[in-house]
A and B are shown apart, each in its own frame.
Chain A
């Protein structure tokens, strides 16, 4: 019996977990910052500390995320798609569709009965398709990202953004503020716009229920409600949605019967 580590270095946040017997026993989340290599090291130290391992204990590690290359101590790398699928499979084995709302983009994955990826799609390299859009507008509204969801929840008349671009959306939000539109209606409008973009991505793959959601975006209950009403379904929501991909990486480390990611192995 041993420990396994999954590290997911994203563009905004780094997420890591340690599993034992395919169960999550420790996790850590930190800003990725400018030095991904250092974030990866800090992640390893923190995770080991949390389960009382010494720095000399070797833990089989799988790295994923856009910064996976910086996890130089990882045994191998795996694609985010495969890791997310495995992570969700661990929490919701019944899920057939997974929506992963991250900062840079949104991914939609379709799974078969065995939890194997059969298809996936991702939003274009566009800030309007991911959580970044929320960050941009939160900045214009001068509110904290953590206040965004609760504020949006109080809106009764969300605005409709006329643009699908985060840059133009920023100007539009400024114009609405000048017109005296309450902040909550603008925030709710962002959720509505994002939910619409995400839903059209889901429909492109053909939605099959049950549908689970993960990624940092799933922390926003107002966004979840907006997606649910847009797709007319109930979503399966894991307790710590932003850890799912890292969890999947740890499971791949443990089972090692993981499907090949198509990326080159780390030495």
Chain B
């Protein structure tokens, strides 16, 4: 008996397959394109191939993330907040605060005994999300994944006075032309984002254990800046992008097991993966 979680985020699409005991069988991450449906099919196909399974072997499938309604084969949709909380607490049973910084939003969750009890989120302003780093990385002409490492070499931090991503972009250009060093500017940018997310988290109250997830958690400079802003240790899972999809898969398993124990049969969607093409391939 196998279960799947599909997390369609604004920037990345993730699939996790687990078995009855909750063991991770395979996972796939891919950039979210314009065509969610086709992408959902494609990432699922890859994950199945990796686990040498057929789509018909999957007993129950849960979709999450902002594109969760665009997964044609998902049996149930669950919000990313519940899925993240479940995924994080399966990896870190003592988690009390979970912060997920994605490409287009930031979520802070208060978790009690593995259950989501409260949350705050920002999806209104790019300055408090991974987008802030994405935009400024493009302005500086460096790769997003290199930002954190470079920022760790800083000898001082340059305070970024603008809150707005667009104005910060302008400020970065001005700092460069003033001859400021790239690593120092980057340290300042990481600080700016960390302090915004920390302010969001403080609205909930920050209690350890604190787990940081989402694409931004892969950035070592950001982990350091968050640690300093919040003044507490930060735990990061090995695959910080996957907690939402993992939580979805675990919730799929639990939903199915509960129904089975009660002698019910849950309705499921057709287990056919449509013939797919990537949006980009179609237009090549």
Which chain A residues have a beta carbon within 8 Å of chain B's beta carbons?
Answer: 34, 104, 124-128, 132, 136, 163-168, 175, 178
Contacts and interface: CB of A to CB of B under 8 A. Distances in A.
Given A125-B164, A167-B127, 9 more contacts: A125-B167, A165-B124, A165-B126, A165-B127, A166-B126, A166-B164, A167-B135, A168-B104, A178-B34
Nearest to B132: A167
A125 B34 contact: no
B155 interface: no
Contacts of A126: 125, 163-164
B163 A164 contact: no
B131 interface: yes
Nearest to A179: B34
A125 B162 contact: yes
A164 B126 CA distance: 10
Which of under 10, 10 to 19, 20 to 34, or 35 or more describes the interface residues of B?
10 to 19
Contacts, number: 42
Interface of B: 34, 104, 124-127, 131, 135, 162-167, 174, 177
Contact of A124 (B34, B126, B163, B177): B163
A164 B34 contact: no
Contacts of B34: 175, 178
Most chain B beta carbons < 10 A, residue from A104, A166, A167: A167
Contacts of A127: 164-167
Given A34-B174, A126-B125, A166 B163 contact: no
11 contacts: A104-B167, A126-B163, A126-B164, A127-B167, A165-B125, A166-B126, A166-B164, A166-B165, A166-B166, A168-B131, A178-B34
Contacts of B164: 125-128, 166
Contact of B131 (A34, A167, A178): A167
Given A34-B174, A34-B177, A178-B34, A167 B166 contact: yes
A101 to B, nearest CB: 16
Nearest to B125: A165
A213 B101 CA distance: 40
Most chain A beta carbons < 10 A, residue from B124, B167, B174, B177: B167
Nearest to B126: A167
A135 to B, nearest CB: 9
Contacts of A104: 167
B122 to A, nearest CB: 10
A165 to B, nearest CB: 5
A128 B124 CA distance: 11
B138 to A, nearest CB: 11
A132 B162 CA distance: 14
B74 to A, nearest CB: 23
Contacts of B125: 126, 164-165
Given A104-B167, A127-B167, A178-B34, A164 B162 contact: no
Contacts of B177: 34
Contacts of A175: 34
Contacts of A168: 104, 126, 131
A240 to B, nearest CB: 26
Contacts of B166: 127, 132, 136, 166-167
Contacts of B126: 165-168
A125 B163 contact: yes
Contacts of B163: 124-126
B26 to A, nearest CB: 31
Contacts of B165: 127, 165-167
Most chain A beta carbons < 10 A, residue from B125, B162, B177: B125
Nearest to B173: A34
A168 B124 CA distance: 8
A163 B165 CA distance: 14
Contacts of A132: 166-167
A125 B164 CA distance: 6
Contacts of B124: 163-165
A124 B163 CA distance: 9
A104 B171 CA distance: 13
Contacts of A124: 163
Contacts of B174: 34
